[in-house]
Amino acid sequence: MAVLCRPAVAVPEHVITMAESLEMARRLHRDNPQLPLALRLIENTGVRTRHLVQPIEQTLRHPGFEARNRVYTEHAKERVPPVVRQALQHAELAPPEIDLILYVSCTGFAMPSLTAWLVGAMGFRPETRQLPIAQLGCAAGGAAVNRAHDFCRAYPGANVLIVSCEFCSLCYQPDDVGVGSLLSDGLFGDAVAAAVVRGRGGAGMALERNGSYLIPGTEEWISYDVRSTGFHFRLDRRVPGTMEPLAPVIGRLAAEHDWDASALDFYVIHAGGPRILDDLSRFLGVAREAFRHSRATLTEYGNIASAVVLDALGRLFDAGGAEPGGRGVIAGFGPGITAEMALGRWTVGGGQP
């Protein structure tokens, strides 16, 4: 049985606090009539600190899409390998033992994908399969877990490396002054995460079932406008209310597995914002405390896009994990509006509870 092993996560050294984010918004957008609303929304996120790949002075400057994408590639090549090495160590594997690399990111672009660079730079076999995912946004962390699970079911005994590289600060657009854009300026942070799904052996979450769901008619609710200046983030005000239709989807997936989604032992949920977590806990009928690891990610790092679920899972490991055999769910949400969900049991080794 495929096992999702302990993730590795790293955040950049440049830190911005909520107080600094609010001061920056007041200074840069003092004449914006929607500023008071944006400030309230940023305060309500509960994000205390975020980490950035560049100092804030550089982040606020826009040297053009070409220059920004070059910064993305340079930082990815510097910051991804140490995280990958740590994830491989957690899984007790070496690069030649990996059969597929899943690289997820929605904040930079490269062709060939950085998977090709990783194969050559880190000693993976030339036969290693590559699967970059660039357009699922925050849902891509959950999608990567599910595609890794699918691969291991198709190729029993195979091992998959998941890499999430999200430098959200490189998408800052100084001329975007809508409430959604101002909120995102105070919500998103940067991070690199990696984890291995082992086809055999390993300790962590033994994956048993996965599912995907797209809410019809919501394609425009979370999106990028791609312009000469790069990616312009668009966020519809209806997005925070999407847990009402998605909670029953999680419930149905669990019911298909003869589980009760309201009575699981651990929950690893994408922390898109505090209302996402509050509403999902209410609609699933679980205690607020059940999402404590996701809330900690949001508080300390902000929304780190596809890396959220890996960081929250890492915090579960740091807390001692679940009891052997404990049942849990991973759920990532993103553009579409898309949900990617995985069910599994906690195992202390050998792929068995």
List active site positions. Answer: 138
81: buried, middle or exposed (CB in 10 Å: 19+, 13-18, 0-12)?
middle
327: buried, middle or exposed (CB in 10 Å: 19+, 13-18, 0-12)?
buried
Helices 308-318 and 292-301: crossing angle in degrees, nearest 10, is 120
Tokens of 239: 């997005």
20: buried, middle or exposed (CB in 10 Å: 19+, 13-18, 0-12)?
middle
Beta strands 159-167; 100-104: pairing state: parallel
Count of CA atoms in the C-beta half-sphere (13 A) of 348: 7
Beta strands 49-52; 14-17: pairing state: antiparallel
Burial 336-345 (b: 16+ CB within 10 A, else e): bbbbbbbbbb
Q: Which DSSP state fits 38?
A: H
Distance CA 66, CA 170 (A): 11
- Specify whether the CB–CB gap between 257 and 208 falls below 8 A: yes
Distance CA 106, CA 69 (A): 12
